[in-house]
Amino acid sequence: MLFDFQVNKRMEEKRKTIGLRNKILNILIFFKDRFDLHEGKEDEIDTIEYIKKNVEFKGANLWILIFAIIVASVGLNVNSTAVIIGAMLISPLMGPIMGIGLAAGINDFDLLKKSLKNLGIAIMISILTSTVYFSFTPLADAQSELLARTEPSIWDVLIALFGGLAGIVAGSRKEKSNAIPGVAIATALMPPLCTAGYGLATGNFYYFFGAFYLFFINSVFISLSTYLIVRFMKFPKKEFMDRKRERTVRNYITIFTILTIVPSVYLAYNIVTRTLWEKNAKQFIKTELDFPRAQIIASTLIFDADSSGIEISVIGDRIEEEQIQLLQKKLIAFNLPKTHLKIKQSGDNGTDMNILRSDILKDLYERNEVLIQNKDQKIALLEREIAEYDQSTKQVMDIAKEAQINHRNLETFTINRAVIANLKDEKQDTLLLAFAKFKSKPNKDETKRLTDWLKIRTKADTIAVIIETGS
């Protein structure tokens, strides 16, 4: 009997184990079905042909690129986000970049050469077009939209990587979605090239190299994400009749892939390191450089893997050397190794007072820029209201003279919009209000005729007319 009990217990435990295993298996199958990239996938050959078709820049494609570059340059020039987004939507730059990743994934050396060639043509045409535009535009100042494309950050790397993944997954579907235009907008391939053109046109090579570096980062990570998805989904690789040529092509592709991946990882690592360093440096300035009788008027962050620097300019009471040394030691606590703190003060030997004065003016300008913009907006609003008031004043006299033609007894007339307070609903509304004074009391027909005429004349749905008669 004891034996039967033990057997039953073991069988019960086994059933529970099998039941738990089946539940886990069902959950895994559920998630596998949900995340299966092969669901709704187009035939691989059709996807390859679709990407190949968008690689080449010739004829209409090239003209569309030129027009899109001009539109994007105008958007950057006038600081219009909407115009820039529109330019990115019509830009065909994604084609050769995805072609590079596809070529590496399927061992197609001819497609790789074609994609690189067309990408080079696109870059050259884009920079040349934007350089010509910025050389002739009368608006020479760099706006915020343009300045935002002069230096890549870790977020640009993440956007390019995951945007590229979204783009190739969408491109491999039977039903094409709006993901690829969305990727073109998110990764912002075109604005950096326009910014590079601005750098050449103005002789600012910091802008040129910074913007081109951002474009390079975006292109590399979009190509890398395309390569990863193509390999993951096991697209058919190109076969060769000649085995020796096949090995040669595969070796070239492998070398190219390594030369692409290794620098991209290195670049991403450097960007992450610099981003974290800048975050820590800003936190250090905010937390530790708060002086009771001195004020920071300018700060500069200089990142270098071997020796970084935080430079600040202050006005007010002098900060003693002992305090500066103490602050230097605190840098370690903020994870800022190999970082030197430099504080510029007006009493220091060798301090350029013109530079310090320039820093002060720059700081004052930046602090008051928003205030100035708000005042400009208020002035524009008041000018608009004054213009509308002047216009309405002229209209009152015109309407009064027209009304007098049909109503000979009319002596005084005015019309204006009034604010009506609805006490029941506690809301405000506007109502067109007219006041008319007659020599003698008008009858109902004349009052109605005046009201109907005013509705047509002013194009108002409702109007309140106050009638008064002379004594």
Q: Residue 100, Cβ neighbours under 10 Å: how many?
A: 26
Going residue by residue through the chain (471 aa), what tens digit of pLDDT does each one get? 544 555 566 666 667 777 777 777 777 777 777 776 666 666 777 778 878 888 887 888 888 888 888 888 888 888 787 787 877 777 778 888 888 888 888 878 888 888 889 889 889 998 999 999 888 887 767 676 776 676 676 677 777 778 778 777 777 776 665 566 666 666 677 888 888 888 888 888 888 888 888 888 888 888 888 888 888 887 887 766 566 666 776 677 677 667 766 766 777 777 778 888 888 888 888 888 887 777 777 788 888 877 888 888 877 778 888 888 888 888 888 888 888 888 887 655 545 545 555 555 566 556 666 566 667 677 777 777 676 666 666 778 888 888 888 888 888 888 887 777 877 777 777 778 888 888 888 888 888 888 888 888 877 778 888 888 875
End-to-end CA distance of the chain: 122
Kindly report the length of the chain.
471
CB distance 85 to 181 below 8 Å: no
Domain ranges, ordered by start, for the chain: 44-238, 289-352, 392-469
Tokens at 138, concatenated: 């009368």
Architecture of domain 392-469 in CATH? 2-Layer Sandwich (3.30)
Location of structure tokens 């081109």: 212
Can you list the pairs that 423-429 forms with residues at least 24 positions away whose Cβ atoms lie under 8 Å?
none
Identity (one letter) of the amino acid at 399?
I
Give the per-residue pLDDT at 128.
Answer: 93
Give the per-residue pLDDT at 358.
Answer: 57
CA dist 57 and 64 (Å) reads 10
Give the per-residue pLDDT at 308.
Answer: 86
